[in-house]
Structure 1
């Protein structure tokens, strides 16, 4: 980066080059904005990898109230019904907005949008683009639109490391690039940084997505919510590669079944079977695997010979693994896929820190509750990007001072990854969570590459300890039942550190023995 950073002072700063960040920048035009991306746009964004499409009630037999009802059921009592209703009523318009930016959605021979079915949806309402390459197509169109918009300056190869905050108000962003540390002064910052997949061994997300946006917000003192709710996708390609290739839920939506090595459909006892909510299917597959079985997706009958045409991305990954889905079973296992928790925001995307907004997976809007309904996430990112842009545009421009550029270490989750993978997977328990919190505490309090990933992991562990029940994607072996009253937990990094210090000074189970 060789531009004079002083020329950017006062501009809104958007951190993140996925769908949420690009849409926010486009909605802010013609106001000049600075979009900061760690990599070239789309190169390492979870948005690009998204196979599922966008959920919107566009069918003649559908409406937003039905979409909302399915979302609330999947969210298992923890959705913010008012916020969910707002987002889902705006979903059909979001599809039109994307088409206006050049997204080529799949259509039937008659010219209408092709609507797919995914788990826990009562209607066909999933809009795809390029079959199972929806994220790639949406990112192609939005990146082109951003690059052709004169008011948006994109700086690539720049990583945000800390937010400058004074009296609970954002003052700017400390970042790092090939030339060293740099400071961007602004009183208006948007986090659109994606999720936490890189904190786990088994994930369908880029390993570089290690919760850095959450760390930025947490270090700035922001309130985070629903951190314990992590969705594990039931069907990732079971092989040696990491990250893992996702086998989209749309495959099951077209009739593929889940079987074990004997050919038995062991999900038959579940209400909805293969199309039950993701947490239910993932847990059932995990339990079957833990008993020594192998688990497969059988798409030989449906989609069968049309598989490669309907799901070209998945077919290519299977070919690389020596599998032809038209004739072979596809080995699968659950993998971390999406984080329902994030930075707590209001209906306009504002966080508890003045001048800081959050959008996309990094935010906790209340739409997903305890378990995200399939394909609601891209819809949320597109709809909420407009809300954030409108809120930010109505905020007065305030002067900020040039600060000294500070050099903070690049986050590296490798030390944290085994801890979270063991204790914060599909099934959790008190002792595992406590041991992990104790192990994460000194890392989170440090100042090296592991400290930010450890801080995020610690907040997840403390939140999971606090929820002494099983609800949605959060399952406690020691508290297997759902509590009578649904409660959302919010916390700050200060809260999490204090709770972990208390655990560190209490006797462990081994010590008690």
Structure 2
């Protein structure tokens, strides 16, 4: 593993345009924007996003945000549901923070301007898989993520202390001579120039990595860039074997795997097989069992033909009111959900693992924080409870700002203290790399996605995982000529794929989102522990699950 690169390609300090701020936020989903808004009350903040500010997994979230605010509900019930779904790998103390601080953060989100659906003057709540209560807030039926993103973007744009720079691809994290993170090396996609963005605190909120898989609910921007950059900077990654596959996405030839929210099943829709029979009837929780269980059940039924989600038990009025986006999208592809069951299949949806953090978003590298899907603090365990992800971004984004306030150093880092690539490379810019071998991006990207889907997907085994890890590693150790953002993304997808495959190969049991057909049992005595990996030494090590609360 000695040939792994600290930087994606050589660059020279002399050719970089330098900017600075107090806090640098990388990513513009719920975790990034909420953190930026909270930090801007005291600090000058820069937000960098690789496309438009609105493009993130947050925008695509349909179901809603889970929070215990109903009279019949309580943080304790939410806590118990989260632990149950997490299959023994949640840290109870972290979950307690999520459920207890969540209501305050959601109220702040509403104060910022997010408007959730109401019924008879009260906030409308729905139920989703593995929840014991109706506790999911939603907006415009099934456009919750869009509404949250709209409100956060509006607030950010009116804040004098927040600068947003779009079209900025984070190539790598920058460090000083002590190994502290002091900023990010960024490609300005418009000009093709490299920029150095320095800050006293850097917050990774770069989202997930669903594009590593052939079929995913994630937008095209979700290529694991922040996770890979943190890895190259020496940060620990945790629980990377645990990828959640959403059970129900639209299965139509030549159509994207459009997400069909779990809230549809929460409102009463049934899953039926090719013979028209419900096949979840005898499973505890039925259609609302944890996501990993439903996804594998659908996968098994697909051996005998298509699987369908039947909306009709919900009723026309509720369908049109609660799921207008899903209704219109299916109609676009020729399916009227009011009268016809919809063909569905699982797709890669959410990364439970990520950059290892504590309860304040601090990583194993000083001055680097992480929040949202790119982070892992063990709040989701081996299988995230539906609609806990948006809450996660709020609660731990807020706690990051608390910690930054406590530790803030008024003196911003200088460009002089940044450690550049070894060897004092004299040239700079995209395309400067050792071996000058053109990276055929689309071909390699397709190979990665197919390999991950077939061998590191819903069902896994030793032979497939071993082959995937070896192939991905061989591809990663090639030095390619990087000629643009697509190539940078593909290189990051390779890194993410290697780390996932390696962790999955080592975990010889089945738990949550990780299912080994050769080790089908959950083995708490041996495997109730978190996997950790970092680039130095590059092996999988383990730490016990915290039992404290």
TM normalised by structure 1 equals: 0.92
Aligned equivalent of 1:503? none
Question: What displacement does 1:10 show?
Answer: 4.3
- The verdict on how the C-alpha distance between 1:225 and 1:182 changes in structure 2, with shifts beyond 3 A counting, is same
Question: Which 10-residue stretch deviates more, 483-492 or 239-248?
Answer: 239-248
Aligned equivalent of 1:489? 531
Pair 1:195-2:235 in alignment: no
Question: Which 10-residue stretch deviates more, 92-101 or 387-396?
Answer: 387-396
Contact 2:274 2:304 survives alignment (8 Å): no
- The verdict on how the C-alpha distance between 1:34 and 1:123 changes in structure 2, with shifts beyond 3 A counting, is same
Pair 1:82-2:82 in alignment: no
2:504 is aligned, of 464, 486, 499, to 464
Pair 1:14-2:25 in alignment: yes
Whole-Å separation in 2 of the counterparts to 1:255 and 1:344:
37
- The verdict on how the C-alpha distance between 1:419 and 1:242 changes in structure 2, with shifts beyond 3 A counting, is farther
Give 1:26-45 correspondences, 5 Å limit.
Answer: 26-30=37-41, 31-42=43-54, 44-45=55-56
- The verdict on how the C-alpha distance between 1:487 and 1:329 changes in structure 2, with shifts beyond 3 A counting, is same
Contact 1:443 1:451 survives alignment (8 Å): no
Give 1:73-472 correspondences, 5 Å limit.
Answer: 73-109=84-120, 111-166=121-176, 167-177=178-188, 178-179=190-191, 180-241=193-254, 243-289=256-302, 291-394=303-406, 395-402=408-415, 407=429, 413-448=445-480, 449=487, 450-472=490-512
Whole-Å separation in 2 of the counterparts to 1:241 and 1:84:
40
RMSD: 1.8
Q: Which deviations, in whole Å up to 9, do the C-alpha atoms of 1:412-452 show, x marking residues without a partner?
A: 74442122111111100011011011101122234443332
Contact 2:448 2:494 survives alignment (8 Å): yes
Whole-Å separation in 1 of the counterparts to 2:146 and 2:98:
23
- The verdict on how the C-alpha distance between 1:314 and 1:57 changes in structure 2, with shifts beyond 3 A counting, is same
Question: What displacement does 1:392 show?
Answer: 1.6
Contact 2:114 2:148 survives alignment (8 Å): yes
Whole-Å separation in 2 of the counterparts to 1:484 and 1:445:
35
Contact 1:10 1:400 survives alignment (8 Å): no
- The verdict on how the C-alpha distance between 1:241 and 1:147 changes in structure 2, with shifts beyond 3 A counting, is farther
Aligned equivalent of 1:505? none
- Would you say how many aligned residue pairs link Structure 1 and Structure 2? 491
Aligned equivalent of 1:475? 515
Whole-Å separation in 2 of the counterparts to 1:324 and 1:60:
36
Question: Which 10-residue stretch deviates more, 407-416 or 395-404?
Answer: 407-416
Question: What displacement does 1:406 show?
Answer: 5.1
Unmatched 5+ stretches in structure 1:
500-513
Whole-Å separation in 2 of the counterparts to 1:355 and 1:319:
48
Unmatched 5+ stretches in structure 2:
1-15, 421-426, 432-438, 481-486, 541-549
- The verdict on how the C-alpha distance between 1:243 and 1:406 changes in structure 2, with shifts beyond 3 A counting, is farther
Q: Which deviations, in whole Å up to 9, do the C-alpha atoms of 1:46-76 show, x marking residues without a partner?
A: 1000001111111111110110000000000
- The verdict on how the C-alpha distance between 1:63 and 1:444 changes in structure 2, with shifts beyond 3 A counting, is same
Contact 1:344 1:352 survives alignment (8 Å): yes
**Which structure 1 residue ranges, 4+ long, deviate > 6 Å from structure 2?**
409-412
Q: Secondary structure at the match of 2:304?
A: coil
TM normalised by structure 2 equals: 0.86
Q: Which deviations, in whole Å up to 9, do the C-alpha atoms of 1:63-114 show, x marking residues without a partner?
A: 10110000000000000000110111011112211110000011112x1111
Contact 1:195 1:338 survives alignment (8 Å): yes
Contact 2:22 2:412 survives alignment (8 Å): no
